[in-house]
Structure 1
Amino acid sequence: MDVPPRKRLSAQDWVDAAYAALGDGGVAAVAVEPLAVRLGTTKGSFYWHFAGRDALLAAALAHWERVETEAVIALGDTQPDRLARMRALLVLALEPPGASVELALQPTADHPLVAPVLRRVTRRRLEYLGTTFRDLGFSPEESERRSLLAYTAYLGHTQLMHATPDLLPDLSGYVDTVVAALTRGGCPTCG
């Protein structure tokens, strides 16, 4: 009986699987044997690309940072209209899988590999939001407050999406309401 040849997996295949596992079950779900089964391969394939589980976890966290922070910010930067940028950022941030990874990482925020990435991602996002609010004409102090409010709205929505998705409103209308609330009062360029 002929056995079909196994697909050769790349390191990125393993990272993608680990990233999906992070969103499904957090740090504990990034385990070599279950990922090998999911990918239809052996643990030997894993060790061809990674020295150990921590190296894979670090790569998955770096992937999350790139895809769900830097790429989202880059897409936001393509919006010349500042309010459209704010809206686009919220829509992109609230879409899975990035929001599910964010939520799954929260219980392990003190993990030695997770903590620095989560801190860096949070700081980067808050700084970018602050810049967006300053671009709208808010003072630096008010921009900082509003960026924190925007980020907590994102985290709260993410939690609700996980715990009670049936209670969430239409995303489009919700995002419009959040943007209006965040830019109301004191915004010289918001019209």
Structure 2
Amino acid sequence: MSRRRRGLSREERTLWAAVARTVEPLRVEDAVVEPPPEPEPEPAPPPVVAPVKKLRGKGADTAPPRPVPPPQPPAHPPLHPIERRTLTRVARGTVGIDARIDLHGLTQLDAHDRLRGFLFSAQAQGARLVLVITGKGKAGGDPHYGEFAERGVLRRRVPQWLAEPGLRSIVIGFEEAHQTHGGGGALYVRIRRRRGHGVDEP
């Protein structure tokens, strides 16, 4: 079996050519011709790296995205005092009272229910200013009925009820009435105007 002839490596060809240049040939046809150098292999193209999309803003490269907070329920509108000019005009009769309710003599439970129903009805009818009569009363009460028969309890409790969050969509504000309308035993209450399904601001 014949042995396959191995070709010269690049280094061997270079060395042989250097030695051949130092030897003088006997005949021109026997001169060693240096083989042409092999072409250099082309360098491989650099790997293509996809661009990384950066977030805008300071610290965007390191800070994780912030969670979106859940929507907050709308805050109850605050109460506003009735302007002194309006109070003066009401006392003089220049500004009329659209509706009134008399609560004195009722228990707290009945008075609270009637007050809420009265305010909702007044707003639905477009009232702007109403009078709530609580009565002045006196301290103390009937021990048989306890606090439900306490005299003057409505004078203390009605302002608390008017300030409840559940009535902020109806009540803008309230003030003690003038002597001509009951003084400390009554309250002027301003009503928010209702438009469609919403309620406007004062």
Please give the range of the TM-score, normalised by the shorter of the 2 chains.
Answer: under 0.3
TM-score, normalised relative to structure 1: 0.26
Of structures 1 and 2, the one scoring higher in RCO (CA 8 A, sep 6+) is 1
TM-score, normalised relative to structure 2: 0.25
More strand by share: 2
